[in-house]
Structure 1
Amino acid sequence: MDISSLSETNFNSTDWINTNFRNFEGKDKNIFISSFVSKLQLYVQQVNFAVEDTSQQLIGNLPRIIKDVKNLHSDVESLQQRMGQVRSEVQAVQEETGDCMESLEKLNRLQTKLQVVKESLQESDGWGNLISELEDSFERNDLMSVCEKLVSLQKSLVAQEKLAGHSERVSQVEDFKNRLEALASPSVVQAFSMSDLTNSQKYVKIFEGISRLPQLKQYYRAVQKTSLQQQWKETIELADNSNNFLLNFYEYLAENCQKQVKWCEQVFGESSKDQPFLILTEVLPVLQPSRDTQILQILKNSNEKLEILEKFANANKTFVNQLNSLLNNNAVPLSKDQTIALSESVFDYFQKFIQQYPRIEESHLFNQIEKVSFGQTNAGDSIHQLENSNKKIFDWQKEACQRCEVITGDLSLCKLIGILNGFLSKVLENYVKTQRQLNLSIHSEQNWTLLQNCMSLLQCLSDFQTRLTKFEKFLYEKMASLEEQITNYNSSQELTIFSICERSELKRLLTSIRDYQQKRTDPSAIGFFPSIYEALKASFIETHDISLTILLSPIEQQLRNIQPHDNANNPAGFDMPAFSFAPQECITQIGQYLLTLPQHLEPLLLSPSPLLKIGLEMCNIKYSQSIPCADVLLSLVVEQCCVMYQSQILQIKTLQAGAAKQLSVDIEYLGNVVEELGLSITLQLSQILNLLKASPENYLSSSAGCEPRLVTAVRQMRNIISTE
């Protein structure tokens, strides 16, 4: 039996008994229980003996423990009494010696003041000697000796701070510093001009000694600015009227800046690596002649203004990328304000060209569209020209967007969208001109050729709209990218063109971008070019109407020949049977024409191209049904034919009984023809047929369910007296 588990903290009697029981599995249970209980009783007895023994020992030791506690208590009381005595003695000593300590402190302060005065007097005695030695060093032009003496004077000046005439001595030391600076300045300029590392480091020590290191850095910046200004003039002269002068100068600046960062670190120390960048910030805005003046001269003498601006904008961008790389690689710690100032020094001169860019781009785009000839006398040639121009138009627009990104960093993107609206409106004018050509050709050219031209124009319009939709998606992506760049600008430490914009201007630009994005998500809005989409929709419908006019032109000519049947052959006014009437020739001509339409329409519309299908659906929602487009167009022709026939009928003033029968026969014939085409005449024409066939006696009852307007018109034609 394992009794070690009885002392465990998580002991469980049930588990322990079950575990021991499983160890005796297969044996007699009664034997196990009696044996297990006997062992437990034995262990309990042993525990009782051990507890009793321990209790006896504890009882025997209690008197000794009580005695020790009493002794400890008496010792504590004795210690408390002794501590009280010591406290009293210390308090008495403090009272006796307090006045003495205060006197000692006063004496110590007086001694310190006397010591300071003594040292000041000693320094004052040595001041004249130092002045004399300093003058000797100035006469010998010994800069290091002058510096050493000035350092000693500065220390002596601090020691004489409490003596009278201190301010005069301060002025005297500053005068000596000015003389030293004036004496050293020619050599300093020469050392900086020659990039003489040894002498430059020597002058740093001298100027540090006299606490004028900032003035030494000013000398360095002045030398560098003069050198860079001279380099700029030489670069312009060597450029010989080419457009590479700015790029060449920027390359020199980047290379020089990289060298100067290392040189400044060696001369001025790790914290002065920003000096070359501060020099660029100061020198670029004051270059003579200015960068913008040079560019303006080139623009005046060139017709390729956008290409020139792109070239100089790329030079700016390349230079800024080089500077960002130098800043990152050399871990130069420019503050946010210094970063903005450096960015402005690079881009600020170019701001006037960014403002001029939209006007130049607009002129360029409209010149492009003028070069494409749309003055074709033949409509088919004009449509072919339009088909060829679609790709060019959107290529030109993408090129304009790319130029906008390069030249303005997309800051003029919203203005460019306004320009593109005008440009696309100009393009759509050519579609309108072509539609006019088609309209004028309806009665002068073969109908089927014109119909083919209309379908081609619809397909061309659909191609234009599809390209416009893709172009809008491209613009939305540019908008999203621009928004991200502007949003990240405040947290970025890199040089960027956005630094030339005021914060309010960037906010306005962000607002414009978000307005455009809101339009994209608004189902009722039509993207960047709402007026263009409306004009396109009108062009789709107009072109489709021209197609219908072409197809209806022969029908319209025949309908003009419809005249009321006179009663010359029936002077007695006998009521002739219906079988004695035959359809008029003009109606049979219309019927034959309608029956030939499918064979002309199916080659064009049986399997229309995807673009033509889209164009047709823009014209009429019926084309989106799962029936052939040729059948839809045929149904529209039939519907319009019925409307025209109905209009022609309603123009008749008087209709005799024979004429009414003749007209009803004509309508029935047309209905049969239309039925052969799988269609039916309009409800209004069907009602007119019923009203024409109704007898005068039963006219009122037969007109039930017909439109009142038609009932009245036919009744007046037939001279039926109303019984109402």
Structure 2
Amino acid sequence: MAEKTETRERLTLEDFDSHEAAFDPVAWLNSRLSKSNVPFEKLDQHLASLSMSCQLLCQDTSESIELASNQLVSQLKPSARDLERMRQEASKGYGRLGDVLEGMKDADQRKRSGLRGLAEIDAVKTRVETACSALREVGSWDRKVKDCESLVHAGNLPEALGQLVGLKGVLDAFRMLPEFARKSEQLTKLQEQLLSAARRRARAAVERSSAEELRACREVFAGLQRQDEAASIANGVFLDLCERAWQSQGPGAAAGQVTLGARAVFDALAQALEERWPLLQALEAPDSEEEPPPVTVTAVKAVLTSLSTKLVEVIGDGRTGAQVDEDTANTRASMAVGLLGVYVDGFDRLAQCAALLGRWAEVAGHEVLPWPLLREVVRFVLLRPMEDDSNALAPPQKQRPSEAVLAADSNATRLLQMPSTWSRRLESQGASQLAVPWLAAVDEANAAYWRQWDRLIDTFDNTLKARSQEASAAGNTTGFDPSFLQEVMQLHQVLHDDLPAKFASFQADTMQQVGRLRSSQSESAFSTVLKEKMKDPRWCALLGIPSEASLRSAADFIEGSAGTSGVLPAAAAALARAEAKVRGVVTRCCAEPVSKILRAYPEMQEWTRPDSDEAAHGPLQCITLVPEHLFSLMPQLEKSQESSLQWLPAILEASVDVVVEKVLHIKQLSAAGAQQLSVDLEYLRKVPDALGSTGGTEAAATRLRELLETVEFLAAQQRRKKECAAQGTAFVEESRAIARWAERPLRAAMGL
């Protein structure tokens, strides 16, 4: 079978077909041999046959490729000729297109040349016509100018305006002549004469209430493109009226005179608006007679701005002069109250005038209410009465500590019941719109009140120092006074338990009063002005009374802004600081005896004992007195409203601070002294656990442990150093993490 295959088989391309991505000759050969079943002894013969078949297949394939390429080349020659013919035709078309474009360009240039000629002819024609017109008018120019001047002097302003408009047209005819500059100057002077005459007539018409003359003047202003003249005349007339009203009261520095002058200005302005409303309408265009004219708004703004300037001259900036004598403060307060009432009533009356109906918001957006006046109002109408109330209820100073605590508690209770009184006082003065400054003033005044408790707390602190000195002079070992501790703890109980509950009620009452003030605010003219002023993002800084921070905090709370610190944050913080200060006095009162017990501890002889002395068998007696004192405090601490465990952490920490201070003041420590110090510290380290480790005593225990470990490590290094010196070897200190805060003084004491 194999021999038959070898003699007849001829390979074709299909024999090399493979389903895989790449042809593998080894796999093909193996597959071929497996199909042919060739024995091993005839393998070489079969491989030679296959090699011959492959060569024949390659020869056939090469001949087929050469035949196909010859056929393809023979077919490309006609296509190449066709492409060359197409290229030639495209070149001819491109040339013809260039000729067409060149012809269009020449035609366009000839057309432009024709249009330019026509334009030059038209310009010449215009110059000729202008010259003819100028020649016709040259004889009548002077006559027309004199006629216009006569009309102006005669008061016939509308006809004079028409004559002036005609002259402007004639002036264009003289533009090409040398007389143009002179005649233009004549026309300008004539226009100024007409404008001045219209101004005088309009002002006189306003003063005489003549609407017809005002309409004539309005036409002149419109024809001269000077519409702003109407507002300027109205401003001048109203400013003169209000200036006379201000001067009629003879205002000076006295509060009553300033208040009367401001009230006279508001009355004069309102009366002028009511009486001259038809005249103000006559100054406007006919299509705006149904609505209040802008000229009215402008006049009102001008008058109120002028009044603000006068008040600022009297008041000042309102920021300085907070610390003044009683008479000056009363005078400024009276002025602020009076001016507040004048502005509230005056704004309401102006807003109800027919001339300003629906237009008050346009007036309110101007500087019609000066910031200095608002500062005076907030300081002397809101803040100062609250401060007077808090000062009257300040903790007493000339009483025994125990009596002063009871009196201070009673006074604080009375003060914390006053928000309703303060809010009613504000409403009675017609300024409930000042809810935000009122809340800020309550916060600041209450915070100032709690800061006054510092003097009472300082009294206890000074008493503690005085009694400590007396005990030291009398030789008292501890200087501890249980009765005084009881008085201090009574003060702390007031600030920690009683007053916070009352202060919470005070906060709730204040929130309720703020809500009532805001709900009682009608859309008055004064509130509209305040809202416009507070739209300025800088209004807290511009007002600045009682402080920018308190105003911002009050505004954020009322508006419900995110991140608000709550109601009365400054007062709450001041109360918390007072409580913390009293807590510190209680702590010092309990820890002061420890300082007395250990006052001679750094200079004791035990620290310099020779190393040959026997080892320490127990703590020193003064050290054993420390826990005895702390244990003696427990019954008295347990009598307070707080658990004794709440006091222990602070007392232990203060006592440990005393111990650490005394230890670090030891000047010299021998090896025996260091051993004694380790025994003392080990004894004290167990005190926090003995007193109770239910929480808070970890800091004191950690501090004692770190100090003890530092002493033991340095004592060991001290002994090694002496041993190395005795043996004549170099001393190298061991490396270990110790308390850095205690390392340097202890090293100095041990000679390391």
TM range (shorter): 0.3 to 0.5
